[in-house]
Each structure stands twice: as C-alpha cells, then as structure tokens.
Amino acid sequence: MSHDERHGLRDEYPRVSGIGIATGIGGLWGAMCYSVLWEGTPFEVDRSFVESATGTLVLLPARLVLWSIRWIELLTDHTFDFSNNHLWIGLVTSAVGALLAVAVFLLVRRGVRQVRARRTLP
C-alpha cells in the first residue's frame, strides 16, 4: 500500500479559507477607500458624501484611520502634516479594511453556526 492510499483522497489544490477571502476583500476595500479620498480615483467624492451615513460606511476603513489621526492630534495638541508623506495611510487603511472584513466574516460564520446548531437540536 502506497503512502497516498493510506491517507485517503487528497485535493490537488488547497482549499481557500473564508478568512483568507475576507482578508483580501477587506484589504482591497481599504485600498479603494484610500484611493478615493487621497487620489480621487476611480471616482471623486465631495465632503457631504464623505460625512453622510452612506459615505461613512462605504469609506469606513479610511474614516477610522482619519478619526484615529485626529484623536492623536487632539491628545498631543499637535497637528500633523501628511501632505508629502501619506502612503503609509494607504497601508494602514488596507489593514483596517482587512480587519473589519475578517471581523464581519467571523460574526456571520458564528451566527450561521448557531442557527444550524439550533436546527439540529431535538
């Protein structure tokens, strides 16, 4: 008996995890938010949209980063100038988007599992 036969069937390609997909989508979400607010691509938004409830949700990763920067400015009583150095904000915004997407994925997965568990109980 060969080594492969003893361990059963194996997939040729590894299965992609939900957390991996959520991380990728969230990272892209954050990058898109940075691109919209700092570069004006793929579309431009005005201040009223950014401050609206819809705009806040759509641009949430960037809004959280901006709120954090503002909070730190208030705590340190110092205004930061990122006009020449803001690429790091894009990286942080992508990371925040990834964290938000993973958190949502985990909450939804937990809810689905709880619903399934209730259905299987007698």
Task: List CB contacts of 58: < 8 A, sequence separation 6 or more.
Answer: 33
Nearest CA among 64, 1, 19 for reference residue 37: 64
Q: What is the mean pLDDT of the chain?
A: 88
Contact 29, 95 (CB under 8 A): no
Could you report the per-residue pLDDT of 77-115, keeping only the tens digit for each? 999 888 888 889 999 999 999 999 999 999 999 999 999
> What value does the mean pLDDT take over residues 14-31?
93
Q: What percent of the chain clears pLDDT 70, i.e. is strictly above it?
A: 89
